[in-house]
Amino acid sequence: MRISLSDEITLRSVQELAWNDVDVEFLFPKLAPEDFAATLTSRDPRFVRQSNGKLLMSFHSIVVQTPHGNLLVDTCIGNDKERPLMDMFHRQSFPYLQRLAKLGLTPNDIDFVCCTHFHGDHVGWNTRLENGRWVPTFPNARYLFAEPEVRYWEQVHQDNPEHIFTQSWNDSIAPVMEAQLADIVQPDHEVMAGVRMQPAFGHSPGNIVLAVEAGDDRAMLSGDVMHHPVQIERPEWCAVFDQDPAQARVTRKALLEQVADDHTWLIGAHFADAAALRVSETGGQFSYR
């Protein structure tokens, strides 16, 4: 994916893993199969494999390049992470940095790193294993962490060391803080001119999205507010990973109302091929193109 906003800002994707053939009932366990089959999205071969009805998804980062610096949004799963309860994440060896290099960028070229939330598939490349130690992957960057997200997972780490995401805290968050590269900011923080964090709670307690703007052109990096484009058509559907489903529904609908115009790209953290979509609203119903 490559998107240019008013010739000033460029957004490009770095894919870590194509997440194909995901069972609908895995992502949406309370959903009746006939309800999914009734959606327009179910017939879109970009996002649903037509031969078996399974979802096509992705793990990727978005690089936002502006005259004021390079921002990396969401750092995926990472290599060498100990994730014994999640085979897809466990001790992986992805060519992620080589794919970043294909964009003409090295880790030293990243000025800011922003994780929309602290689930393990959004913080992994914050660090890499070097001589048996976890060190920040992007040594020249400021890592921007939303204060409510930090405080929540800090408490979880203290109260429940066996929690599934405590490992992520230990190997992907704490080393960045110890290296004094982390800035704990409010969830409406301006990253740089044209790029602002925006609170989007529900999927996690401190979840944020990134709004990017240049002239009349905009992009919204929605993280996990939506896992799959079908949630544009059906914003009331919550993915299994949403920690507060009621709040997630409210946030998702509000975000769709915000981006439903001809000037804004919607880019989800798990949309297949890092798809950039336009959203329209007619009579309270949303659709994409």
Domains of the chain are 2-215 (3.60.15.10)
Query: Average pLDDT for residues 133-153, to the nearest whole number?
Result: 98
Q: How confident is the model over 200-239, as pLDDT tens digits? A: 999 999 999 999 999 999 999 999 999 999 999 999 999 9
Q: Indicate whether 166 pLDDT > 90.
A: no
Is the pLDDT reported for residue 163 higher than 90?
no
Please tell me the distance from the alpha carbon of residue 29 to that of residue 125, in angstroms, as a whole number: 29
Does 165 score more than 90 pLDDT?
A: no
DSSP 8-state assignment for residue 170: I
As a whole number of angstroms, the distance between CA 148 and CA 208 comes to 10
Mean pLDDT of the chain: 97
pLDDT digits (tens, 9 = 90+) for 263-278: 999 999 999 999 999 9
Q: Please say if the pLDDT value at position 184 is more than 90.
A: yes
Angle 69-189-267 (CA atoms, 0-180°, nearest 5)? Answer: 70
What pLDDT is attached to residue 57?
98
Say whether pLDDT at 288 is over 90.
yes
Among 8, 64, 62, which residue's Cα sits nearest to residue 215? 8
CA 214 to chain centre: 21
Q: Pairing between strand 9-22 and 54-66?
A: antiparallel
pLDDT in tens, 7-59: 899 999 999 999 999 999 999 999 999 999 999 999 999 999 999 999 999 99
DSSP state letter for 91: T
Query: Rounded CA gap, 23 and 126, in Å?
Result: 29
Residue 92 has pLDDT above 90, yes or no: yes
pLDDT computed for residue 247 by the predictor? 98
Model confidence band, residue 6 (pLDDT cutoffs 50, 70, 90) = very high
Task: Please state the pTM of the whole predicted model.
Answer: 0.97
Nearest to 57 by CA among 210, 271, 248: 271
The Cα 114–Cα 201 span in angstroms is: 16
Average pLDDT of 191-203? 98
Is residue 265 within 8 A of residue 277, CB to CB? The reply is yes
Reduce the DSSP state of residue 212 to 3 states and report it: strand
Q: For 194, how many CA atoms within 13 A lie in the half-sphere containing its CB?
A: 22
